[in-house]
């Protein structure tokens, strides 16, 4: 990571969350060098903007392999030493979009919804071992995830059935990167402050669109569908 090389406060390790071997090796190296892992933050993720009917299955699998299975690989790797010490915190970074999935980002929203569900179960199953599990559900946040990955996908895709929605699809790629989006540094500082508490919260939602999507979660489905039809022009 830029700016961290050579800083004795950081141990930089190579990690591919899509690889069981890489996940185990990275955690083993961290434990060997530092003695333990107190906090695991599963923040690796990839986005995908595309109509579900035209998403190739290999790309569907890539999103889940990173966003869902990648998180579980790291969790499996750190759990043994956390259980042994009866101490630790796992932070899974989901998304506020999982509360009220709209059009064009169904694969991404589904992967984050799966991560939310897994986190809820883990929180209950690991509580008796003294391990905290926290879900972070960011709203629109300035990041490389939003600014790079999705726009490239839309630009190169030759839509067969959804060509007429190209403008709406393009708008979805930039939805989280507008003027009102939350700086990543702001979100990170707030998460760190919560993680360092004696009893971290189980849920933390913060950032642009958090309020409206939380409201849509409780709204009747007909209202949610109407809202997205007007806003997203689907």
Pairing between β-strand 203-206 and β-strand 131-138 as defined by DSSP bridges: parallel
Residues 6+ apart with CB under 8 A from 83: 126, 129, 131
Q: What is the DSSP letter of 181?
A: P
Which residue among 10, 108, 206, 226 is the active-site one? 108
Number of H helices, E strands in the chain: 10, 4
218 is a catalytic site residue: no
The residue assigned the tokens 């009866």 is 86
Q: What angle do CA 99, 123, 32 make, to 5 degrees?
A: 120
Query: Taking a C-beta distance cutoff of 8 angstroms, is the pair 139, 100 a contact?
Result: no
- Give strand pairing partners of 41: 91
Nearest-CA neighbor of 95 among 15, 203, 216? Answer: 203
Closest CA to 106 of 42, 59, 38, 142: 59
d(CA 137, CA 191): 10
- Active site residues per annotation: 108
């Amino acid at each position: 990571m830029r700016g961290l090389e050579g800083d004795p406060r950081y141990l930089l390790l190579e990690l591919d969350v899509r690889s069981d071997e890489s996940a185990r090796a990275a955690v083993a190296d961290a434990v060997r060098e530092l003695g333990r892992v107190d906090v695991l933050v599963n923040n690796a993720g990839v986005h995908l903007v595309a109509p579900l009917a035209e998403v190739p299955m290999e790309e569907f699998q890539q999103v889940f392999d990173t966003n869902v299975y990648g998180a579980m690989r790291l969790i499996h790797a750190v759990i043994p030493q956390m259980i042994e010490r009866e101490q630790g915190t796992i932070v899974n970074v989901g998304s506020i979009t999982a509360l009220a999935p709209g059009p064009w980002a169904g694969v991404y929203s589904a992967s984050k919804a799966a991560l939310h569900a897994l986190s809820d179960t883990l929180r209950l199953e690991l509580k008796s071992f003294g391990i905290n599990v926290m879900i972070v559900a960011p709203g629109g946040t300035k990041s490389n995830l939003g600014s790079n990955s999705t726009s490239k996908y839309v630009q190169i895709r030759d839509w067969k059935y959804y060509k007429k929605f190209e403008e709406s699809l393009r708008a979805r790629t930039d939805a989280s990167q507008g003027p009102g989006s939350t700086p990543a540094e702001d979100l990170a500082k707030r998460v760190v402050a919560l993680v360092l508490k004696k009893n971290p919260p189980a849920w933390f939602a913060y950032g642009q669109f958090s309020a409206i999507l939380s409201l849509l979660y409780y709204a009747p489905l007909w209202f949610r569908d109407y809202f997205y039809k007007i806003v997203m022009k689907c």
